């Protein structure tokens, strides 16, 4: 199975990893921060390392302190008294959690619908588990829109309905969306939920950027819609919430009917998630309110977003203003690269966006992620118009990047 599709092609994160780029290139590619998690969170990590129990295996469900903290955090938002024994599962990053859901539920040929562009990992995670990805477009903003926002990327519910077949098992929803930054509206989620109900589908709701919404956009959880709890698994991440992407701590929240089989899968894949950082994540959730952490973080990200977007405004380049997540899609179709420029094989064999992103990394000194990777091969040409810039970096770095980007003029 690994021979199929793009499984053996180097993934975009490895191609655009900092080690392959010039040493002084400013890395706005892979979405990770160049600042530390909050001190009161890392202090808890240190404390956990000095304590015997959290240096050892945790229960495969996750350490009880973290499950209790997740219950307290999510319970009110989901209007549920969550059962820490059967409705919460800690996973080794959101990614492993999602993989385990596929392992638990997909049978040969089961179809999984995802909106395209999609976070690239979904595709191999589905195919490695014998599933078949089915794509429904998130339509790019019309050309006539001069200053598009992520809201201008739209879904057509009839297209979703037409994508459903007797083999459809699941729909993946990703809000706030990577790479578009779209925060799905309640109306959109209601329409998706109606289809899930009508055709008896599971919903995997990847909400890892839930704490990052802007411009008055409210994150809405599809699991809270009538009838949806029983068919939805909500995915979260410590990496995004607490600037700790390397910790690989994520979680799944959902009904026992989804969590129990997924627990069986995750137990056999990783057995359990690293214990000390589960303690620290628990501390993060427990103390977030006291530190007004999520409000402050959101304001900081808003400023980061504007530093980057102001540079694009000055250049007169079109981009999608994201109302969620920490990514900006820049339209790179008008950026010209010299014909004679040479690229490594990993880049030259891919879409134009790979070449533009590589050239910008080497010649402008700012890296990004080519967006065709977030499309299936057949639709990759749509993504070739964009490069994704991550703004999860400190202000000084973003200002420096903005200055360099002005060199595109
Ligand atoms: N979620 C991160 C991003 O989109 C990184 C994902 C990864 O490295 N697999 O940048």
Total domains, the chain: 2
CATH number, domain containing residue 321 = 3.90.1150.10
Predicted complex ipTM: 0.94
Q: Are residue 92 and residue 205 in the same domain, yes or no?
A: yes
The tokens for 16 are: 């655009």
User: Rounded mean pLDDT of the chain?
Assistant: 96
| pTM of the predicted model as reported, rounded to 2 decimal places | 0.97
The tokens for 185 are: 């509206």
Domain C-terminal end among 287, 317, 332: 287
Domain C-terminal end among 228, 255, 287: 287
Q: Which of 14, 28, 30 is the best mutation target for the ligand 1 pocket, counting ligand atoms within 8 Å of the beta carbon and taking the most?
A: 30
30 CB within 6 A, ligand 1: yes
Surface-to-core class of residue 56, CB atoms within 10 Å of its CB (0-12 exposed, 13-18 middle, 19+ buried)? exposed
Q: Are residue 357 and residue 269 in the same domain, yes or no?
A: no
Q: Are residue 318 and residue 231 in the same domain, yes or no?
A: no
Q: What is the pLDDT of residues 318-328, one digit of tens each?
A: 999 999 999 99
121 CB within 6 A, ligand 1: yes
Residue 2 lies in a domain: no
Q: What is the pLDDT of residues 179-224, one digit of tens each?
A: 999 999 999 999 999 999 999 999 999 999 999 999 999 999 999 9
CA 314–ligand 1 middle distance (angstroms) = 28
The tokens for 388 are: 């994704």
> Nearest-5° angle of CA 243, CA 249, CA 252?
115
Q: Are residue 220 and residue 248 in the same domain, yes or no?
A: yes
Domain C-terminal end among 287, 318, 352: 287
Q: Are residue 101 and residue 212 in the same domain, yes or no?
A: yes
Q: Are residue 166 and residue 279 in the same domain, yes or no?
A: yes
Residue 159 lies in a domain: yes
Q: What is the pLDDT of residues 260-279, one digit of tens each?
A: 999 999 999 999 999 999 99
* Residue range 156-161: mean pLDDT, rounded: 98
Residue 5 lies in a domain: no
Q: Are residue 281 and residue 347 in the same domain, yes or no?
A: no
Q: Which bin fits 334, alpha (ψ -120 to 50), beta or left (φ > 0)?
A: alpha
Which atom of ligand 1 is closest in space to residue 119's alpha carbon?
Answer: 4
Examine the pLDDT at 4 and tell me if it is beyond 80.
no
Which atom of ligand 1 is closest in space to residue 29's alpha carbon?
Answer: 10
Tell me the C-alpha to C-alpha distance, in Å, between residue 26 and each of 22, 132, 393, 402: 9, 37, 10, 10
Q: Whose CA is nearest to atom 1 of ligand 1?
A: 31
CA dihedral (241, 242, 248, 253) in degrees, to 10, reads -40
Q: Which domain holds residue 138?
A: 39-287
Buried b (16+ CB within 10 A) or exposed e, 292-329: ebeeebeeebeebbbbbbebbeebebbbbbbbbbbbbb
Residue 1 lies in a domain: no
CA 351–ligand 1 middle distance (angstroms) = 19
CATH number, domain containing residue 89 = 3.40.640.10
CA 269 from centroid of its chain's CA atoms: 21
């Amino acid at each position: 199975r690994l021979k199929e599709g793009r499984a053996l092609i180097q993934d975009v994160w490895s191609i655009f990893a900092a080690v392959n780029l010039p040493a002084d290139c400013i890395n706005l590619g892979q979405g990770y921060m160049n600042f530390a998690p909050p001190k009161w969170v890392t202090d808890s990590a240190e404390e956990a390392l000095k304590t015997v129990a959290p240096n050892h295996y945790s229960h495969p469900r996750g350490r009880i302190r973290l499950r209790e903290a997740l219950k307290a955090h999510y319970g009110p938002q989901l209007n549920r008294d969550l059962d820490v024994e059967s409705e919460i599962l800690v996973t080794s990053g959101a990614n492993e959690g999602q993989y385990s859901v596929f392992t638990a539920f997909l049978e040969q040929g089961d179809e999984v619908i995802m909106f395209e562009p999609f976070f690239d990992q979904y595709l191999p995670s589905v195919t490695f588990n014998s599933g078949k990805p089915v794509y429904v477009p998130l339509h790019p903003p019309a050309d006539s829109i001069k200053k598009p926002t992520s809201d201008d990327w739209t879904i057509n519910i009839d297209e979703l309905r037409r994508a459903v077949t007797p083999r459809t098992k699941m729909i993946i929803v990703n809000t706030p969306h990577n790479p578009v930054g779209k925060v799905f509206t309640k109306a959109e989620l209601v329409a998706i939920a109606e289809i899930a109900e009508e055709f008896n589908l599971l919903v995997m709701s990847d909400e890892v950027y839930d704490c990052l919404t802007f411009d008055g956009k409210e994150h809405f959880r599809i699991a809270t819609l009538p009838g949806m709890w029983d068919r939805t698994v909500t995915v979260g991440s410590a990496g995004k919430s607490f600037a700790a992407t390397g910790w690989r701590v994520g979680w799944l929240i959902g009904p026992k009917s989804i969590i129990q089989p997924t627990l069986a899968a995750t137990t056999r894949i990783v057995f359990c998630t690293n214990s000390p950082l589960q303690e620290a994540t628990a501390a993060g959730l427990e103390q977030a309110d006291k530190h007004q952490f999520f409000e402050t973080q959101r304001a900081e990200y808003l400023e980061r977003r504007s530093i980057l977007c102001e540079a694009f405004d000055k250049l007169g380049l079109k981009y999608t203003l994201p109302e969620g997540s920490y990514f900006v899609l820049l339209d790179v179709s008008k950026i010209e690269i010299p014909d004679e420029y040479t690229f490594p094989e990993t880049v030259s064999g891919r879409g134009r966006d790979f070449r533009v992103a590589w050239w910008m990394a080497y010649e402008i000194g700012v890296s990004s992620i080519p967006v065709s990777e977030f499309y299936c091969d057949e639709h990759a040409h749509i993504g070739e118009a964009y490069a994704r810039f991550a703004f999860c970096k400190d202000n000084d770095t973003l200002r420096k990047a903005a200055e360099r980007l002005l060199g595109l003029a």
